[in-house]
A and B are shown apart, each in its own frame.
Chain A
Amino acid sequence: MKTFAKLFSSLRLKSQDCGKAGRGEESLEFLYYFADVFTPLSFGLLLLGTIGGLILGATPGLSPTMAVALLIPFTFHLPATQGLILLGAAYTSTVAGGAVSAILLKIPGAPANIATTLDGHPMARQGKGAKALQLSFLASAVGGVFGVLLLIFLTPLLSEWALAFGPSHLFWLAILGVTVIGSLDSASVVKGLLSGCIGLWLATIGFDDIMGAQRFIFHPSLGGGINIIAALIGLFAIPQVITMFAKGRQDNSAEVLVVEKHSIRDAIREMMRRPKALTIGTLTGSIIGLIPGVGGQIAGLVAYDQTKKFSSEPERFGRGHSEGVIAAEAANNAMVGPSLVPLLTLSIPGSPTAAVLLGGLLIHGIFPGSDLFDNHPDVAWTFINSMLIGQVLMCIFGLYVAGLAARVAQVPQSVMAAIVLGLAVFGSYSVQSSMGDVYVMASLGVMMYFLERFGFSAAPLVLGLILGPIAEANFIQGSMIANATNGMAPYFLSGALNISLIVIVIASVAYSAWMELRSRRYTSKEEIIG
């Protein structure tokens, strides 16, 4: 495999026609193409992609993958570079835009924003919606810029690292995700684990891609399994809608979500005071984003969990703590840059969104991999630079949107409930133009409403739904390979990467158990004092 260092030097030779260049200068190649982002057409598209992406991202059901896929036909008529700028900007800002509905409505726009709801929505309920939005966009920008810089400077190292993850490692990684389930947003660990189990069971519904078996298809709508976006909307939005309608009936004064004005300068200061959340979020997001096949969906959740575990006041999480929002949003945007590493270097799309971007490149006859950087450095670097600038633009427009949030909140609850219900139906239908997904959304939503009344919560359930297929597919693949080679134990339990992952899993479980004990003592003390 050609490393980027080599690619850089070959670029250098071509563009400069001079002898060997020092390594330090080589890595600054991207600076030569900065000006290309600022041509009227490119910059116009960048603005369009960013603003459009924020709006699409804020709409439940329109995930980053969908947004990028919807834009592909437009790029047929654009030059390659400009087409990619549009797609890159849309990818960046839809991920961040998802925070808007996650915070204000408790409906994550995409799996990446689930963790944002955990503290973002409680903040909104306390009147701190504007602050939560400002923090989420600032954290997104910091994480996002860091992720793209990683993509620019460390790609050769990172691409080898991304390849190192085989089926056994992905299996352990999914198990690490499962260990988070118990401690996530639940009254008790047992209820969290039970919700996670329901999610894992739901994940098995449908045709299994690896063995070809049909499981639990008791209705024709379930043939393709439970669509994750439809489930996400149902589990988060419908209980909200039912609660809002129920309240509206009892009380006509309609409790309105108050949004206090919050200055941007205060938000920046607040974020600077929480360097730990920002750092953990950014680093976790970058690392997880890199791993093909796991990527963005769980980056936010794992980062949230880690931040909580390293925090000196873990009991404040889930009750509107700004660190939760910062960590989750820093992580899901930090994931964007690294998630493109396998695509750009090896031509392997590591995430569904990257697969759609691959189509956008191919349509212009550009093959990702060495061809991209050897023969089309202008396209590659202008694209990467536009993502860098896109992060900044996204932050600026996002902060403006945060100012508007007050208006959304002035809508009476009964009207809000109707709007959210409309969006939920529209969002779940549009995923794959199927009424079946709307039925799935509605049934899961009603089920969740009753489960919530018994203290269960949606986040661990969705995490089970996401992790189930990853754990299962990689376990089956791994065991097939293991049986053909040295056997199960050496395949799953040996090697530095396997062992380190297992150690992290054990540490995570032990820490959760300890936290549970500690928080029990804390609450009982509180009760005595109270």
Chain B
Amino acid sequence: MRHLIASAALALTALTGTTTLAEGYPERPVMMMVSYGAGGATDFQARIVTMTAGNEDALGMPVAIINKPGAGGRVGWNWFATQADADGYTLAAYNIPHFIAQSVKGGVEYSAESFEPIANWGADPAVFVVAADSPMNSMNDVVNYAKENPAKLTFSGAGLFVGHHIAALQLEKTAGVKMAYIPTKGGGAAAMKAVIAGDVMGGVNNLSDAFRAQQAGNVKILGVFDLERNAFLPDVPTLKEQGYDIDNASVNFRGIMVPKGTPPEVIDKLAAVVPEMFKNARVASKMKAGGSPMHIMTRDEVKEMWAAREETLKELLAGL
């Protein structure tokens, strides 16, 4: 019900056109744009982490989620960079490395400079999966096969210039091999189906989805594309441990941002309140139940992460 009231209130205020910024920000419900469809991982997590926003110790006002999906997130972020009001009542969810990789590649109306980060709530690393009956048991097996059969090892991932693709590029570059990356339409789920059904020999996928598929006995997880092992998969070594110098550039970071030009006092208030909101015990338990790894970062930490990521991606995508 709260969401309905929130959207109704939002529509009303939009109609009356009150955009003056009072002392007691926020004095009305806040909108948050998610550039992926309702029910997707980003939407699902965004709804969980904002569900306590109405509490007095958080924003004191509910957050209404608005979905603007399309073109791998480009539609929503284009809208956010060019048309969203910078008044603190319009937030958006970001996905790193997606939007930075897209801006490096070009053809969009935003870059990392178009937005101001508020805080990060989650980090979902990419992992390498093969079907449960695959003869490959480690990343070395994968790389050796790729060396003997250049450009013959097919592996799936959720599209181009998303975390999975970045992980794939890093693997090819570091191991010095050529493989056949098959981007799927329909996100991680379609990429996972291709692995389980044997359409492809392996795949890069989200840790959370791969964890579930492994529990179900459908896949083996051979390596994590992150700096450290993950609490969900303590037995799976990172790529680095297996001898491939790969950092966390492909980890899918999710968090909240506002458009550039939002008043500094609003940004300060959000930057102080939002990370605390993410720490709420109910949020943490729902996120854990859904198998979504949390990773809370403050505004300053996110700023640093964005800058570092932009540099890595520029280098990695230069040859494409």
Q: Is the CB–CB distance between B39 and A72 below 8 Å?
A: yes
State A108–B32 Cα separation when bound (angstroms): 31
**How many angstroms from the CA of A74 to the CA of B47 in the assembled complex?**
11
Query: Given A293-B190, A369-B216, do A434 and B37 touch, yes or no (CB 8 Å)?
Result: no
User: How far, in whole Å, are A358 and B37 apart by their CA atoms in the complex?
Assistant: 13
Question: Digit string of B113-131 for contact with A (CB within 8 Å is 1, else 0)?
Answer: 0000000000000000000
Is the CB–CB distance between A73 and B3 below 8 Å? yes
The total number of A-B Cβ pairs within 8 Å is: 168
Which one of A2, A223, A355 lies within 8 Å of B71 (CB-CB)? A223
Alpha-carbon distance between A72 and B45 when the two chains are bound, in angstroms: 12
Q: What are the interface flags for B248-272 relative to A under an 8 Å C-beta threshold, 1 for contact and 0 otherwise?
A: 0000000000000000000000000
Which residues on the B side are within 8 Å of A167 (C-beta)?
A: 199
Q: Flag whether B185 is at the interface (Cβ < 8 A).
A: yes
Interface residues of B in 212-226 (CB under 8 A from A): 212-213, 215-218
Asked if A224 and B71 make an inter-chain contact with CB atoms under 8 angstroms apart, the answer reads yes
The 8 Å CB contact of A223, one of B70, B105, B159, is: B70
- CB pair B38 A356 closer than 8 Å: yes
For A364, the chain B residues whose CB sits under 8 A away are 289
| A207-B44 contact, Cβ under 8 Å, with A346-B216, A364-B289, A480-B180 | no
Cα A432 to Cα B248 in complex, Å, equals 32
Q: Select one of B75, B78, B215 contacting A371, CB under 8 A.
A: B215
A342–B78 CA distance with the chains assembled, in angstroms: 34
From known contacts A480-B182, A481-B180, infer whether A363 and B289 are also in contact, taking CB-CB under 8 Å. yes
In the complex, which of the residues A70, A358, A469, A484 contacts B180, with contact meaning CB atoms closer than 8 Å? A484
- Taking the closest CB of chain B, its distance from the CB of A84, in whole angstroms, is 14
From B71, B213, B215, name the one whose CB has the most chain A CB atoms within 10 angstroms: B71
Q: Tell whether, in the assembled complex, residue B160 and residue A212 are in contact, meaning their CB atoms are under 8 Å apart.
A: yes
- Chain B min CB distance to A216 (Å): 13
Is B71 within 8 A of A163, CB to CB?
no
Give A337-370 interface residues, CB cut-off 8 Å to B: 342, 346-349, 352, 355-359, 362-365, 367-370
The minimal Cβ–Cβ distance linking B319 to chain A, given in whole angstroms, is 15
Residue from the list A210, A227, A362 in contact with B160, Cβ < 8 A: A210
Q: Is A252 an interface residue (CB 8 A)?
A: no
B185 CB contact (under 8 Å) in A209, A355, A368: A209
Minimum CB distance partner of A209 in chain B: B185
CA distance A253 to B66 in the complex (A): 44
The interface residues of chain A lying within 8 Å CB-to-CB of B39 are: 65, 68-69, 72, 352, 355-359
Query: Nearest Cβ in chain A — how far from B249, in angstroms?
Result: 19
Report the bound CA distance from A349 to B213 in whole Å.
12
Does A1 contact B160, Cβ atoms closer than 8 Å? no
Q: Is B297 an interface residue (CB 8 A)?
A: no
Q: How far is the CA of A163 from the CA of B198 in the complex (A)?
A: 9
Report chain A residues within 8 Å CB of B186: 293
Question: Quick one: given A166-B199, A349-B189, are A363 and B213 in contact (CB under 8 Å)?
Answer: no
- Any B CB within 8 A of the CB of A289: no
Judge whether A19 is part of the interface by a CB distance below 8 angstroms: no
Is A473 in the interface zone, CB < 8 Å from B?
Answer: yes
Query: What is the chain B residue whose CB lies nearest that of A353?
Result: B39
Contact A163 B193, beta carbon cutoff 8 Å: yes
Query: Does B67 have its Cβ within 8 Å of any Cβ on chain A?
Result: yes
Closest to A370 in B: B216
Q: Could you tell me which residues of chain A, from 481 to 496, have a CB within 8 Å of some CB in chain B?
A: 481, 483-485
Task: Give the Cβ gap from A469 to chain B, nearest Cβ, in Å.
Answer: 7
**CB-CB contacts below 8 Å: B1-34 with A:** 1-3
The answer, yes or no, to whether B69 is at the interface (CB within 8 Å) is: yes
Residue interface mask B154-176, A partner, CB < 8 A = 1? 10000111000000000000000
B40 proximal to A (CB < 8 A): yes
CA separation between A234 and B318, bound complex, in Å?
42
Is B200's CB under 8 angstroms from A207's CB?
no
Find out whether the CB atom of A363 lies under 8 angstroms from the CB atom of B182.
no
Q: Given A223-B78, A481-B182, is A347 in contact with B44 using a C-beta cutoff of 8 Å? A: no
* Chain B interface size, under 10 / 10 to 19 / 20 to 34 / 35 or more: 35 or more
In the bound assembly, the distance between CA atoms of A105 and B282 in angstroms comes to 46
Q: With A163-B196, A346-B196, A484-B180 in contact, is A370–B217 under 8 Å at CB?
A: yes
Determine the chain B residues whose CB is within 8 A of the CB of A224 once the complex forms: 69-71, 74-75
CA distance A364 to B44 in the complex (A): 12
Q: Which of A70, A293, A348 contacts B196 (CB 8 A)?
A: A348
* A109 lies within 8 A of chain B by Cβ: no
Q: Please give the distance in Å from A198's CB to the nearest CB on chain B.
A: 21
Nearest A residue to B183 via CB reads A210
Q: Does A427 contact B (CB under 8 A)?
A: no
Q: How far is the CA of A47 from the CA of B69 in the complex (A)?
A: 32
Contacts of B161 in A (CB 8 A): 212
Q: Is A292 on the interface with B (CB-CB < 8 A)?
A: yes
B68 touches A223 (CB 8 A): no
The answer, yes or no, to whether B296 is at the interface (CB within 8 Å) is no
A188 in contact (CB, < 8 A): no
| 8 Å CB contact of A362 from B194, B196, B290 | B290
**Nearest neighbor of B290 in chain A, beta-carbon distance:** A362
Partner of B212, one of A206, A293, A369, A480: A369
**Which of B48, B70, B196, B200 has the most chain A CB within a 10 Å cutoff?**
B70
A206 touches B71 (CB 8 A): yes
Q: Is A27 an interface residue (CB 8 A)?
A: no
Known: A73-B3, A211-B160. A166 touches B182 (CB 8 A): no
Asked if A57 is at the interface (CB within 8 A of a chain B CB), the reply is no
C-alpha gap A522/B47 in the complex (Å): 59
Q: A165 vs B198: C-alpha distance in the bound complex, in angstroms?
A: 10
Whether A207 pairs with B74 at a CB distance below 8 angstroms is yes
A225 contacts the other chain (CB 8 A): yes
- Give the chain B neighbours of A212 by CB distance below 8 A: 105, 160-161
Using a CB-CB cutoff of 8 Å, which residues 55-81 of chain B contact chain A? 66-72, 74-75, 78-79
Determine if B154 and A481 form an interchain contact, defined as CB atoms under 8 angstroms apart: yes
CB of A10 closer than 8 Å to a CB of B? no
- List residues of chain A with CB within 8 A of the CB of B68: 432-434
Across the interface, do B217 and A347 meet the contact criterion of CB distance under 8 Å?
no
Shortest Cβ distance from residue A441 to the other chain B in the assembled complex, whole angstroms: 15
Q: Which residues of B contact A514 (CB under 8 A)?
A: none
Is A214 in contact with chain B by the CB < 8 A criterion?
A: yes
**With A76-B51, A481-B199 as given contacts, are A433 and B67 in contact (CB-CB < 8 Å)?**
yes
* Closest chain A CB from B41 CB (angstroms): 8
Knowing A207-B74, A359-B44, A481-B154, say if A365 contacts B199 (CB, 8 Å): no
Q: Which A residue's beta carbon lies closest to that of B182?
A: A480
Contacts of A24 in B (CB 8 A): none
- Give every chain B residue within 8 A of A76 (Cβ-Cβ): 47, 51, 286
With a cutoff of 8 Å between Cβ atoms, the chain A residues found around residue B160 in the complex are 209-212
Name the 6 nearest CB pairs between A and B, nearest first. A224-B70, A365-B289, A356-B39, A69-B38, A207-B71, A369-B216
B residues near A, CB below 8 A? Answer: 1-3, 37-40, 43-44, 47-48, 51, 66-72, 74-75, 78-79, 105, 107, 132, 151-154, 159-161, 180, 182-186, 189-190, 192-194, 196-200, 209, 212-213, 215-218, 286, 288-292
Can you report 27 A-B residue pairs in the complex whose CB atoms are below 8 A from each other?
A69-B37, A70-B38, A73-B2, A73-B51, A76-B47, A76-B286, A163-B197, A209-B71, A209-B72, A210-B183, A210-B185, A211-B160, A214-B107, A224-B70, A224-B74, A225-B71, A346-B218, A352-B37, A358-B189, A362-B44, A363-B48, A367-B215, A371-B212, A432-B70, A433-B68, A473-B184, A477-B182
